[in-house]
Structure 1
Amino acid sequence: MSYKVKLEVFEGPLDLLLHLINRLEIDIYDIPMAELTAQYIEHLHAMRVLQLDELSEYLVLAATLIEIKSKMLLPVHEGEEPDGEFDFEMEPDPRDELVARLIEYRKYKEAAISLKESAEERSGHFTKPPEDLSALGEISIGESEEQLNVFDLIGAFQKMLERKRLRAPRTASITRNEKSVSEKMDDIMATLETRGGRCDFHTLFEEGDAPGLVLTFLSLLELMKRRDVIVEQQQNFDRLTVSVRREDV
């Protein structure tokens, strides 16, 4: 069975690059192209498995990253640094255009976030005359939880696929997956409940072939979208945990 999905949380390839730069704690003005390109392509492999509709524009930027990386590896010309490093005083840095695009994109992204926060704050203001609400009791507003974004989940999904590939037997059987996303969502919730409402991200992917793993991943995204589960990470690069969202009493 083939699954096609378009996710609103994917804002574009530049958004993925900024995510990787922040996660890897890279200086945006001195990007290590080899490391960044490798991480970017790893994410693309997982996105290809998920058959995401936006993949084409990500491939265009991947080609740009590879081109910049290749220019960084070109041999130096006469008069350049003897240690083989790129002399940026004599030749333009091939990363300059990419850095400029990222900085400009980050400005617009931060401005969009600021406008969204202003709109949400303004939505709480009304022109209706004040009334006595004491009869309604005290209203408590819970703090919003900072959760992982989809790029974090894509990275975890790619690592899980790689581990399964290394452990896979040489022979395989073809099975037909008859379950729907809705049914798989019920399975995930049942698994969480049997484990006390919380389990490791990789526990949900212990069994199943490639289509089944994709189905599980899409079902998990849908549960997150419906705010039925929370995916958390204690520290950078730690294992991800999935928990059932408990409403405050």
Structure 2
Amino acid sequence: MEYKVKIDSFEGPLDLLLHLINKLEIDIYDIPAAEITNQYLLYVNTMHQLELDVASEYLVMAATLIAMKSRSLLPDHSSDEDEYLEEEDPREELTRRLIEYKKYKEAAIKLQEREEERTKLFSRPPADVLFAPSGEGPLNVSIYDMLGAFQKMTRRKKMAVPRQATVRREEISVEARMEVLLKTLKEAKEPVLFEDLFQSNERDELVASFLALLELMKQNEITVTQQGNFADLYVISGGKQ
């Protein structure tokens, strides 16, 4: 499958690491090297499987995490070598970068909120107010939430389907899946569970469906919602107002 898609939700490896830290409820000042590395590589591998454009900085961070994990698994010789005592724990540098990134990201969010508040000072048609997002509404779903949901869905499908020889069907294009998914969502009377949009067990069709959803999100044709951390994702027709 040659179709590739790149969307603005990819903000870089530090953004992915912060997502994992929040999702796994990890202390940013005491990052478990092995766990965070395994989870990070799982997401990067999923990006490759889906043929998403993965910037080189993701791979550089992957190499850094692997080195950090390898070091954490080595025997502790700190009592034998004075130089080892003076060597900085690579997690400290990563923590500093994450804290700095988090600080600037939070500042950007606050500036965006101020901008949105300022726009409310100008007159607008009353109808717009009815569609304004509520502060207590569903969580914003990121590309990483989508990747995580795709991981869980494909793992369950592999466990449910017996290993047997099958005849490979004709490959379905992303454009074709976009039309089918959009039609399904428009005909649905309520939000559709993310996993219910993946009826096939064929890898190519699963990938095409996922890329189709991403492209529909990019075109503001659909909205993906989540009511809380670790909750299921739901998809509805219509973009964000």
Same fold (TM over 0.5): yes
Confirm or deny that 1:111 pairs with 2:107.
yes
In structure 1, the partner of 2:227 is: 234
Deviation, 1:123, is 4.7
One-letter amino acid matched to 1:9: S
**Greater Cα offset, 238-247 or 170-179:** 238-247
Contact in 2 for aligned 1:47/1:55 (Cα 8 Å): no
Give the secondary structure class of the aligned counterpart of 1:39: helix
In structure 1, the partner of 2:42 is: 42
Give the secondary structure class of the aligned counterpart of 1:95: helix
Contact in 2 for aligned 1:4/1:51 (Cα 8 Å): yes
Question: Normalising by structure 1, what TM-score?
Answer: 0.80
Deviation, 1:217, is 0.9
In structure 2, the partner of 1:71 is: 71
Within a 5 Å distance, the mapping from 1:132-211 to structure 2 comes to: 140-144=129-133, 146-166=139-159, 167=161, 169-181=163-175, 183-193=176-186, 195-207=188-200, 209-211=202-204
Give the secondary structure class of the aligned counterpart of 2:192: strand
Match of 1:98 among 94, 97, 101: 94
Q: How many residues align structurally?
A: 233
Deviation, 1:55, is 4.2
Report the CA distance shift for 1:139/1:118 in structure 2 as closer, same or farther (over 3 A). closer
Give the secondary structure class of the aligned counterpart of 1:18: helix
Structure 1 gaps of 5+ residues are 81-87
Deviation, 1:78, is 5.9
Within a 5 Å distance, the mapping from 1:118-137 to structure 2 comes to: 118-123=114-119
Confirm or deny that 1:52 pairs with 2:52.
yes
Structure 2 gaps of 5+ residues are none
Q: Find the aligned partners of 1:235 and 1:177 in 2 and give their Cα distance.
A: 35
Q: Find the aligned partners of 2:100 and 2:22 in 1 and give their Cα distance.
A: 16
Task: Report % sequence identity.
Answer: 46
Q: Find the aligned partners of 1:137 and 1:122 in 2 and give their Cα distance.
A: 17
Contact in 1 for aligned 2:5/2:215 (Cα 8 Å): no
The one of the two structures with greater contact order (alpha-carbon pairs below 8 A, sep at least 6) is 2
Larger proportion of helix: 2
Q: Find the aligned partners of 1:19 and 1:78 in 2 and give their Cα distance.
A: 33
Contact in 2 for aligned 1:19/1:151 (Cα 8 Å): yes
- Alpha carbon RMSD of aligned pairs, Å? 3.0
Contact in 2 for aligned 1:197/1:244 (Cα 8 Å): no
Deviation, 1:152, is 0.3
Q: Deviations over 1:73-131 (max 9, x none)?
A: 11112638xxxxxxx977632301110111111122122223333344445566xxx9x
Give the secondary structure class of the aligned counterpart of 2:58: helix
One-letter amino acid matched to 2:59: L
Give the secondary structure class of the aligned counterpart of 2:77: coil
Q: Find the aligned partners of 2:63 and 2:54 in 1 and give their Cα distance.
A: 15
Q: Find the aligned partners of 1:59 and 1:139 in 2 and give their Cα distance.
A: 43
Give the secondary structure class of the aligned counterpart of 2:223: strand
Contact in 1 for aligned 2:157/2:201 (Cα 8 Å): no
Q: Find the aligned partners of 2:234 and 2:188 in 1 and give their Cα distance.
A: 12
Report the CA distance shift for 1:186/1:40 in structure 2 as closer, same or farther (over 3 A). same
Question: Normalising by structure 2, what TM-score?
Answer: 0.82
Report the CA distance shift for 1:154/1:138 in structure 2 as closer, same or farther (over 3 A). closer
In structure 2, the partner of 1:85 is: none
Q: Find the aligned partners of 1:19 and 1:113 in 2 and give their Cα distance.
A: 15
Deviation, 1:149, is 0.9
In structure 2, the partner of 1:218 is: 211
Give the secondary structure class of the aligned counterpart of 1:232: strand
